[in-house]
């Protein structure tokens, strides 16, 4: 099959509204968490999140696009604009059917849904729904709007697999290029979940941290005192391109997408398999597809959301595949800084993996002071500060409600 490489990246995150700022803050160990400003969260168990800072959709969108779209689509368009510019693509010189968009979002237009339904319930009895209600709400609109903006007429759809969504989108984009059904794919994910219903729903599940007195220290993956995840928002975009096509146009190549795989836990609606069986098989399959041995992996960006059950099930899978004392492998959990971007998590963590390869730096896991005693002492989890290390192979883990496991492997080229 054809080889696939990354030639462009874009990011809108709680740590910065472009790739450079995001990466610099990630390496510096900066937390994006703070008290929620989007709405009054005083009545909720959790009152903080990792919100975007200083984001202005007008930097990438015109007034009509902003009026017609939910924030999750706005984030997608902004991240895609940076990625496409970064890749130096000239779509006017390409067959429009050669480029597609496969995007991901777990919740879609949650803000639009809440606002419109609230207006209907609390207002008069005239059902004054906006004509843009449905287009703003539906989850596939991000991929649709990216294609409309740039005239991309190839494969186009949106994936949904909860918090594994972005890796699902990346995997699908990879496979379509490998099979010769596209030359370029814009892929990634976006999420705008910091809304009353979304925060309230996760609070009701007791899934989120309640460390309201110290939000910046709330996300503490693998720590004995972890008490749940911190919600985040934003988007990340990748330009995936067929290798020979990228070489022919003289594109800058960041890394290769070497393999990807998905499995299902078939175990529980929200809990991961306690032995990590689905995660284990997904990692095995992704590495086998990449024709790599576990001993060749230098960096693993863990899903590690800072939940009591989820972190340990992932560790169980990691130790069964890599061993309890892998001297070649370093692990970090960047959600400790970005928060959990749900359906956009895999995309932003893909950029962290790619940058670790290009820059030779592994970002840290912040806030973790005392490792859970159930975690083998021989695992090299990068804590507090980033480390310098040559990274030739990086693995990104994502897992989602419903038992979805999505793994992507990146390789230096």
Q: Which residues are catalytic?
A: 163
| Separation of alpha carbons 130 and 127, rounded Å | 9
**Other Cβ atoms within 10 Å of 80 Cβ, number:** 32
Measured on CA atoms in the order 224, 228, 233, 238, is the torsion positive or negative?
positive
Task: Please report how many Cα atoms fall inside a 13 Å half-sphere around the Cα of residue 8, on the Cβ side.
Answer: 26
Scanning the structure block, which residue is given the tokens 């419109």? Answer: 116
User: Which ranges constitute the DSSP H helices of 290-359?
Assistant: 308-322, 335-338, 345-359
Which secondary-structure segment (H or E) carries 388? strand 387-388
Question: Across the beta sheet with 299-301, what order do the strands follow?
Answer: 156-159, 99-104, 184-191, 234-242, 4-12, 255-264, 404-411, 393-400, 299-301, 330-332, 380-381
Q: Which two tokens stand for residue 251?
A: 């594109």
- CA 92 from centroid of its chain's CA atoms: 30
**146 to each of 65, 120, 195, how far by Cα in Å?**
11, 30, 24
Gap between the Cα atoms of 167 and 386, Å rounded:
24
The whole-angstrom separation of Cα 272 and Cα 160 is 18
Q: Which neighbouring-strand residues pair with 218?
A: none
Torsion sign across C-alpha atoms 366, 15, 335, 411:
negative
């Amino acid at each position: 099959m054809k080889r696939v490489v990354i030639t462009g990246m874009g990011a809108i995150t709680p740590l910065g509204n472009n790739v450079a700022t995001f990466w610099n803050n990630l390496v510096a160990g900066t937390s994006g968490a703070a008290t929620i400003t989007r709405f009054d969260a005083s009545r909720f168990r959790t009152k903080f999140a990792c919100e975007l800072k200083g984001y202005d959709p007008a930097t990438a969108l015109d007034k009509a696009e902003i009026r017609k779209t939910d924030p999750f689509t706005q984030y997608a368009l902004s991240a895609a604009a940076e990625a496409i510019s970064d890749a130096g693509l000239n779509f006017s010189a390409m067959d429009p059917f050669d480029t597609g968009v496969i995007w991901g979002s777990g919740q879609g237009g949650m803000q639009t849904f809440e606002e419109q339904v609230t207006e209907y319930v609390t207002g008069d009895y005239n059902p004054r729904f906006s004509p843009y209600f449905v287009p703003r709400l539906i989850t596939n609109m991000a991929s649709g709007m990216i294609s409309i903006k740039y005239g991309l007429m190839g494969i186009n759809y949106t994936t949904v697999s909860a918090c594994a969504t972005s890796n699902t989108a990346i995997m699908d984009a990879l496979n379509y290029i490998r099979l010769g059904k596209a030359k370029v794919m814009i892929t990634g994910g976006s999420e705008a979940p910091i809304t009353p219903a979304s925060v309230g729903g996760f609070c009701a599940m007791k899934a989120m941290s309640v460390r309201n007195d110290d939000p910046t220290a709330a996300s503490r993956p693998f720590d004995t005192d972890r008490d749940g995840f911190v919600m985040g928002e934003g988007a990340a975009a990748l330009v995936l391109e067929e290798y020979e096509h990228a070489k022919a146009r003289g594109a800058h190549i960041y890394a290769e997408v070497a393999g990807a795989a998905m499995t299902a836990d078939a175990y529980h609606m929200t809990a991961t398999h306690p032995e990590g069986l689905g995660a284990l098989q997904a990692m095995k399959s992704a590495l086998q597809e990449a024709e790599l041995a576990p001993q060749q992996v230098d960096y693993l960006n863990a899903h590690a959301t800072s939940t009591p059950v989820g972190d340990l099930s992932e560790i169980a899978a990691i130790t069964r595949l890599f061993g309890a004392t892998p001297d070649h492998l370093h692990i970090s959990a960047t959600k400790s800084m970005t928060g959990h971007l749900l359906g956009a998590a895999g995309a932003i963590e893909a950029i962290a993996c790619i940058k670790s390869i290009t820059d030779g730096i592994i970002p840290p896991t912040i806030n973790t002071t005392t490792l859970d005693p159930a975690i083998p002492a021989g695992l090299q989890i990068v804590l507090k500060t980033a480390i310098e290390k040559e990274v030739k192979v990086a693995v990104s883990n994502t897992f989602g409600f419903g038992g979805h496991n999505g793994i992507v492997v990146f390789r230096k080229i």
